[in-house]
Amino acid sequence: MLLTTKTTIEKAFLFCLFLTVSNVFAQTPKIDSLLTILKTTKNDTSKIKILNQLGAELMNSGSGERAMQYANEALNYCKIFLATNNHPKQIRNNTLIEEATSYNIIGYLYTDRGNYMDALKNQLLSLKIREDLGDRKGLATSYSSIGNIYSYQANYPEALKNYSASLKLMIENDNQRGIAACYSNIGIIYYYQAKFPDALKNFTASLKIMEKIGDKPGIAASYTNIGLIYKQQGKNEEALKNYFACLKILQQLNDENSIATTYFNIGAINILLKNFKDARSYLNKSLLLAQQIGSKDDIKESYNGLSNLDSVLGNWMNAYHYHLKYSAIKDSILNEDSSEAMAEMQTKYESEKKEKEIELQKAEISKKE
C-alpha cells in the first residue's frame, strides 16, 4: 500500500510579546522573588499585578499550567475590583490594563495548547480593552498575539495584517525588542508564502536587533528562522548548524516548548541529509517532550515527521500508523477550534467596533446641533 504523506516542514518560532516582563524567558530567582512578595501583598491592585507577572514569567519558562492558574486568579481579582464603581479613574484604568494583560496571557497559553478558538476569544477581549483605553503599547502586543493565532491557522493574510499593525506601533513606541519580534514574525509569514528573499531580509533585521540588545531567546529564535531559509536553499548542513546553535541556548534557558520544536527541526533536516538514525532519535525526543508538556501542535508535527521518515525508508505500515495518529490529533485540534467560528468571532468584534464608532459620530452630531 502506497502512503502519501505531506513533506515535513520545520517549524519557525513566532515571538509572543507581553508587557508585564522585561525579558521574554523567566528565571527561577525572579519567580521565587515574586512568590515571596505575593505572600505579603494585600488583596488590591498590587496583588493583581504580581499575579500577572507570575503568570507571564511561568508561561515564558514553559510552566503553562501554573501560569494559567495565576493569570486566571489575576483576572478574577480584576473582575471583583471593577464590579464596584467607587474607584478613582486612574486606579480603575490601571486595573483594566491588568485585566487586558490577564486575557493576553491566557490567550497565549491557549495558543500554545493548540486551542485557537479560546485563544482568539481572549486576545480579542484584551484588544478591546486596550482600544477603549487608548493603550497603544498594549495594542502592539495584542495585534502581535492575534497575528500568531492566525499564523498557526495558516491564515497568512490576516496574520500579516496584524503583524504589520503591531510593527507600526512598536516603531512608534521605540520598542526595540518588539520591532525585532515583528520583523521575525513577518519573515515567518513570507517563509510560509515561499517568499524566501523577503523572509531572509526580515529575519536578518530581527537578528541584528536581538544581538544589539543581547536578547538570548531572540537570538536563538533567529538561528532557527535563518536555518529555515538555508534549508529552502538546499544548504542543509548550514541549516543544521543553526538549529544546534539554537538548541544550545534553549537548553540553557530550559524552555521546553521551544526545545520540542527544535528537536523536531533537527529531526526533519536529518531526513533530508539521510541521517535516518539521528532523524528518528530527534523526532522521538520531540514527541516525548511534547507529550510531557501537553503541546498538541508539537505532538502532531512529531507524528507527521515520523510518518514521513518511515515513508522514506519504505516502512509503510509504520508510516501509516504514525499518519493515523497525526490525522487524529490534527482533527481534534480542528474540532476544538473551527476556523468558521473564529471568523464569526472576528466579524462580531469588528461589527461591535463599527457600531461604537457610529454611536460616537451620532453623539458628535447631536452636540453640534
CB 23 within 8 A of CB 61: no
Residue that has been written with the C-alpha cell 524552555 in this structure: 255
Show the domains of the chain with their CATH numbers: 17-174 (1.25.40.10), 193-253 (1.25.40), 255-343 (1.25.40.10)
Question: Which H or E run includes 314?
Answer: none
Spatial CA neighbour of 296 closest among 80, 163, 111: 111
- Eight-state DSSP code of residue 7: P
Q: Which residues contact 223 (CB under 8 A, 6 or more apart)?
A: 242, 243, 245, 246, 249
Spatial CA neighbour of 258 closest among 266, 248, 250, 268: 250
Q: Is 104 exposed, middle or buried (0-12, 13-18, 19+ CB in 10 A)?
A: buried
* C-alpha pair distances (Å), 57 with each of 20, 67, 105: 9, 8, 10
The per-residue pLDDT string of the chain (369 residues; one tens digit each, 9 = 90 and over) reads 222 223 344 565 555 554 333 333 334 558 888 888 888 887 778 899 999 999 999 988 878 889 999 999 999 999 998 988 788 888 999 999 999 999 999 999 999 888 999 999 999 999 999 999 999 999 999 999 999 999 999 999 999 999 999 999 999 999 999 999 999 999 999 999 999 999 999 999 999 999 999 999 889 989 989 998 999 989 999 999 999 999 999 999 998 989 999 999 999 999 999 999 999 999 999 999 999 999 998 999 999 999 999 999 999 999 999 999 999 998 887 776 566 566 666 766 766 666 666 666 656 656 655
Q: Is 348 exposed, middle or buried (0-12, 13-18, 19+ CB in 10 A)?
A: exposed
- 0.85 surpassed by pTM: no
CA angle 364, 366, 367 (to 5 degrees): 65
CB 306 within 8 A of CB 322: yes
